[in-house]
Structure 1
């Protein structure tokens, strides 16, 4: 590594990706620690050797990559190679890109700079996408089968059913259609969260009123009013947030507590300090159920995590975390004092920039 110069205090070993540099004669003059980890070749076995020998790369068809690309004797207008998937000896996959450095345009190559990256992260991403597709297909199949079955039956045998029977079938179709609509909304939210395009339309939000509204919705749906305990620490600071997305967060956390927890569901709203010691609002939702196992705490906000087998896509808490973080807030989970799950999120209360 002696020939590798420090660049503005940055050493090649500080880089997260593999870095291999060959001089004008094709001899390796830099082989950083990440390159050693990715290739399994020690630095002393790489420095001073020909680039094609240190990195005997092949494409997926078994062709030798350096013979195909020919960086030193190829066209003088080329500036490098875009990233592509190649194979190291033994069949290990690696993502490789190259840059051809010339002192003057069209001149000879002075250096070839190669970047190496492992494929583990990409494979994890591909697995995640495959899991998402499988989950969506499974969740869509059931309601769509129901919708198709009931509509086909009604169309074929409309006169044979009583009004009450027709109403029951149409109500089932309506409920299944709502289920599909919710799933599509979740998928759109995930797409926006993953791409950093989740829009937050801030307005003044009365969090206490929003909590009471969600509790009333649960009691109207048949839950006993005594099951909910609401504690509001007045006065609360004025909170600027997206009201629709706050409803989504509260609805998801309360639904989880009602469905997966037991006993009383306690919702607390109080002033709090954010992680940057600024003014904020904290909302805590806890239950008296079995709680979340310690080994699962770190996975609660990941895709497809389910607290039980009682339905759901496992996407709700992932979306909740994305919404809270899009507001500049934080969310955490632990055990409540009575043993159940306790979710707590804190949002900064600052007004939008045009109000500052």
Structure 2
């Protein structure tokens, strides 16, 4: 292929450069030999200098003097720059002889301008003409040579463009290759992580019964929250099992040692950080010839996800049953509620009862709303209204006044925010009633409840009102905190339904808010804090599918 060869610059050595320089110089000064008068009369001064032609006008003289001097200096500087460039990069510059021709042409032009300065005072017009002849020859030689270089120059430009395009394509190909390589690395990492995750869901072990030593083949930490050294005996393994399942597992192992060969069991593990995992265990007992148990080979598989799915299904079935029951209850209590409302209306004729009757009517209305809400808790309420947050909290606290006094519980109010919120007033009163009621239930005798409102900036809901209800009760155990908002979960045994905090959480979320809980059972500093963030303005409540 001929095109790539055009990329190779013309390289000449110092000797070749000298030959070119001598040839150009001889060509430039050859007219002096052919035309003797050019050099014989070179320094003749029989003419008048230009200064007389300018009539000794100082401004005109200085104009020509300065202009010609600057042009000459510039030409000489350009020529020396070209020579320096050729000397420094002579191996990489194509058409070096053309650069030399340009240099001779340019320096000749500079000399003509210097001669214009000289003839202002010295009439050496023949010498000035000699310089112009040299300049003319250098110019003509350069002009004749240039057209011959045009095709090669264009070819070089075209080749350079092709090279640049190839470079761009090569760079793009390299970038794509790096991207593919990175994707392969990520896929390999994902595959490795998947394998590790699958392996993390299973662990096998061997129990040397004679020495009571367990040898773990796989890492037990993901399943038990403990390393192999912490589970090196059967007693330590049993200690890692959830207390409610420990006795059952001990009975299984006891029967296996007595007469069994195969065993299968399900139990929960409780890690030091109190996380719970469900495991299914299977094993085979190896015995000596006399029937004495020698070793047990077993493996455990993590079935936590399956158990959680089963629990979710059971909860769903409970909710469906509760929904049908709630529909019946709501239907049965609606008629008595209407009768009570009518009677309260008749009692309003006594002025002394108006305030108490008004509060009673509000609570009856709230009870009616709860009945309707029970029929369709997730239905969108079409009429949210603006309520004063402080007034709403005070209205709820009044309902618990007798209970607060009986139990010697003090209320500490800190209303840093006294503005309005656009909410469903009945639902919000129900939230506050549930939380304050729970706080009272946590304190049998004496204590303190803090009710605090403030403006806040929440990462969950943005600009919001924060409502804090804190008590100095016994606190909630850490293992119950994760389930506190689940339906039907209760710590009140016979008196609790397990729906209060679930309903509270659902109402807060329905209003676009968030509820958080902190609790401590430490005797030195026990109590529970509920914090609710509600948007300052909720144009439309969130709805959920029933």
Q: What TM-score range do you get, normalising by the shorter chain? A: 0.3 to 0.5
- The structure with the greater share of residues assigned to helix is 2
Larger radius of gyration: 2
TM-score when scaled to structure 2? 0.32
More strand by share: 1
Q: Which has the higher contact order (CA 8 A, sep 6+)?
A: 1
- TM normalised by structure 1 equals 0.48
